[in-house]
Amino acid sequence: MTVHPTECLLRMYDQHHDLEDYQSGVPRWCTGCGDNGILAAVQRLCRDEDLRPEKTVFVSGIGCSSRFPHYMKTYGFHGIHGRALPVAEGIRMARPDLNVFVNTGDGDCCSIGAAHWIHAIRYNMNMTVMLHDNQIYGLTKMQASPTSPRGLKSNTTPHGAYLEGLQPLTVTLGVQNVSFVAQAVDWIPEVLYDIIAAAYRHKGLSFVRILQRCPEWLPKMLDPWVHDPLKIMLLTHENGLKLSPNISKVYKTQERHDPSNINRAREIASVADPIPVGILYHNPEVPCYEELRDAGQQRSMRFIKAGLEAEFDKFTVWPQDADSKAQPSA
């Protein structure tokens, strides 16, 4: 019996994926680094959503956090410092069929990449952006970043940082076309997972700031919040985060917050203590740039196949004895 090639492909796509199908290598992050928890949450999400590895891409810039794509058994692009977002936007334009994730650090996104960050929010292209905010340049060994708190001593601020830290959530919420903003912490895995999952399901650019521990350079900085559950303020709502009874029992500081309320979201965004955790803003109606641009020029399967055939044809090796008339003109 002849099996048509597409039948085999269809069977392959039906495969179920396990956690190992998304795991690649042993992370080189320090023991206790918050990046490990973020990676675990993302791999679980890929497994639970059964994302096809060959249809998924992780994009990053440069930094400890930007090593993320190396540890995902998907496609990945470990790019250049500050340029994760424009690379991801390019991928989105060329391959709207892919799941696009971005992992960026506070230096990568809020310092050298700040201009790209603002415009990416405005373009609202469909991707999940995770800001690993450890409030320091980790990879280059402890220089102050824009989100470092005032007074922080580092290699570039030996007398303490002079300025108040930039707040990534308030900046993001101030940009035209913002559609999804959330905050998570690396040390509450269940809530971290739920927030990244909600971000992934949102159509548009979802921006998740994750407070991430860096035990190497700032070993005690987040300890007060890690050790006192009352210093975490969980944002709950039927259209936002729904808490399990176990989480509710431990984390008792809570606010019922409607994620469609941008004014309250902006107020919450500027609160540093207790740390607000949950979905601050969600507006599913904001159009995505790629859809606005592509409106009226739907790419049919035939169009995509024709493009692929044209590319493959460039590499065709014609038999020497073939009739020269049969060869395509250059």
Ligand X SMILES: Cc1ncc(C[n+]2csc(CCOP(=O)(O)OP(=O)(O)O)c2C)c(N)n1
By CB under 6 A, name the binding residues for ligand X. 62-65, 81, 105-108, 112, 132, 134, 136-140, 145
274 preceded by a cis bond (ω within 30 of 0): yes
- We find the least distance from the C-beta atom of residue 136 to ligand X, in angstroms, to be 6
Stretch that binds ligand SF4, among 14-22, 213-221, 236-244, 284-292 (CB under 6 A): 213-221
Which token pair is 150?
């005032």
Checking 227-230 for CB contacts under 8 A at 24+ apart, the result is 229/253, 230/274
Q: Which of 213/257 has CB closer to Mg ion?
A: 213
Sheet of 205-211, strands arranged across:
75-78, 56-60, 99-105, 127-133, 205-211, 180-185, 275-282, 232-236, 254-256
- We find the least distance from the C-beta atom of residue 194 to Mg ion, in angstroms, to be 24
The answer to whether residue 106 forms part of the interface with Mg ion (CB under 5 A) is: yes
Q: Could you give the CA distance from residue 170 to residue 153 in angstroms, rounded to a whole number?
A: 24
- We find the least distance from the C-beta atom of residue 278 to ligand X, in angstroms, to be 23
The one-letter amino acid at 52: R
Q: Which of 132/202 has CB closer to ligand X?
A: 132
- We find the least distance from the C-beta atom of residue 12 to ligand X, in angstroms, to be 36
Q: Which of 187/217 has CB closer to ligand SF4?
A: 217
Q: Is the dihedral of CA 279, 284, 286, 287 positive or negative?
A: positive
Stretch that binds ligand SF4, among 10-18, 29-37, 232-240, 307-315 (CB under 6 A): 29-37
Residue 70 burial by CB count (10 A; 0-12/13-18/19+): exposed, middle or buried?
Answer: middle
- We find the least distance from the C-beta atom of residue 156 to ligand X, in angstroms, to be 10
Which of ligand X, Mg ion, ligand SF4, none has residue 262 at its interface (CB below 5 to 8 Å by kind)? none
The correct pick among 61, 76, 86, 138 for binding ligand SF4 (CB under 6 A) is: 138
Which of ligand SF4, ligand X, Mg ion, none has residue 108 at its interface (CB below 5 to 8 Å by kind)? ligand X
Stretch that binds Mg ion, among 98-106, 121-129, 190-198, 292-300 (CB under 5 A): 98-106
Which of ligand X, ligand SF4, Mg ion, none has residue 62 at its interface (CB below 5 to 8 Å by kind)? ligand X
The answer to whether residue 134 forms part of the interface with ligand SF4 (CB under 6 A) is: yes
Radius of gyration of the chain (CA): 22
The answer to whether residue 69 forms part of the interface with Mg ion (CB under 5 A) is: no
> Angle at Cα 197 formed by Cα 105 and Cα 92, nearest 5°?
65
The answer to whether residue 134 forms part of the interface with Mg ion (CB under 5 A) is: yes
Site for ligand SF4 in 46-65 (CB under 6 A): 64
> Angle at Cα 240 formed by Cα 234 and Cα 246, nearest 5°?
50
Crossing angle of helices 84-94 and 114-123, in 10° steps, is 30
Q: HEC states along 1-56?
A: CCCCHHHHHHHHHCCCCCHHHHECCCCCCCCCCHHHHHHHHHHHHHHHHCCCHHHE
Stretch that binds Mg ion, among 17-25, 101-109, 249-257, 296-304 (CB under 5 A): 101-109
Which strand (E) or helix (H) includes residue 234?
strand 232-236
Chain-centroid distance, C-alpha 213: 17
Which token pair is 289?
């740039």
The answer to whether residue 29 forms part of the interface with ligand SF4 (CB under 6 A) is: yes
Stretch that binds Mg ion, among 129-137, 151-159, 220-228, 314-322 (CB under 5 A): 129-137
- We find the least distance from the C-beta atom of residue 113 to ligand X, in angstroms, to be 8
Interface positions with ligand SF4 (CB under 6 A): 29-30, 33, 35, 64, 134, 138, 214-217
